[in-house]
Amino acid sequence: MTICIIKSCRNQTTKRKEKTNITFHKVPADPVAAQKWIEQIRLSRNDPTWTPSEYTRICSAHFLESDLYNTNGGYVRLHKHAYPVKTTHYCQPLFKCPDPSNIINANP
Ligand SMILES: [Zn+2]
């Protein structure tokens, strides 16, 4: 079972009986990119010492739609420099969060 690491999020694979657009994504291997993910996850969990494990996943609800794309094989992938931005407020399961642009502007 895969559970989204974002603390306020309840998305997990076992709830996907209905067809949804939620996918789960690993922290990138690139350390610079990974650091942005880790910062966002720490904020969401209010835990400045949190570190990812190999099982850490973030669901697609926390990414901008423009950061997600479909492969020819039908998989949903993230663009190389994508990182989670919709992490510090409650996300309804299976629904996209509101536009986070004001959050981005407050945290350059
Ligand atoms: Zn999530």
Per-residue pLDDT of 45-74, as tens digits, reads: 889 999 999 999 999 989 998 999 999 988
Q: Do the domain assignments include residue 21?
A: yes
Q: Say what the pLDDT of residue 43 is.
A: 87
Name the β-bridge partners of 93.
none
Higher pLDDT, 99 or 31: 31
- What is the CA(79)–ligand 1 centre distance, in A? 18
- What is the CA(101)–ligand 1 centre distance, in A? 18
- What is the CA(30)–ligand 1 centre distance, in A? 21
Q: Do the domain assignments include residue 36?
A: yes
Q: What is the mean pLDDT of the chain?
A: 80
pTM score, whole prediction: 0.73
Q: Do the domain assignments include residue 32?
A: yes
Q: What is the count of structural domains for the chain?
A: 1
Q: Do the domain assignments include residue 30?
A: yes
Q: Do the domain assignments include residue 60?
A: yes
Per-residue pLDDT, averaged over 18-30, amounts to: 84
- What is the CA(77)–ligand 1 centre distance, in A? 15
Q: Do the domain assignments include residue 7?
A: no
Question: Based on the number of CB atoms within 10 Å of its own CB, is 15 exposed (0-12), middle (13-18) or buried (19 or more)?
Answer: middle
Name the β-bridge partners of 69.
77
Percentage above 90 pLDDT, the chain: 44
Q: Do the domain assignments include residue 65?
A: yes
pLDDT > 60? residue 15: no
Higher pLDDT, 59 or 13: 59
- What is the CA(4)–ligand 1 centre distance, in A? 5
Which three-class secondary structure state does DSSP give residue 85?
A: coil
Residue 89 structural domain: 13-46+53-106
Cβ-contact 19, 54 below 8 angstroms: no
Q: Do the domain assignments include residue 102?
A: yes
Higher pLDDT, 16 or 68: 68
- What is the CA(58)–ligand 1 centre distance, in A? 6
Cβ-contact 51, 41 below 8 angstroms: no
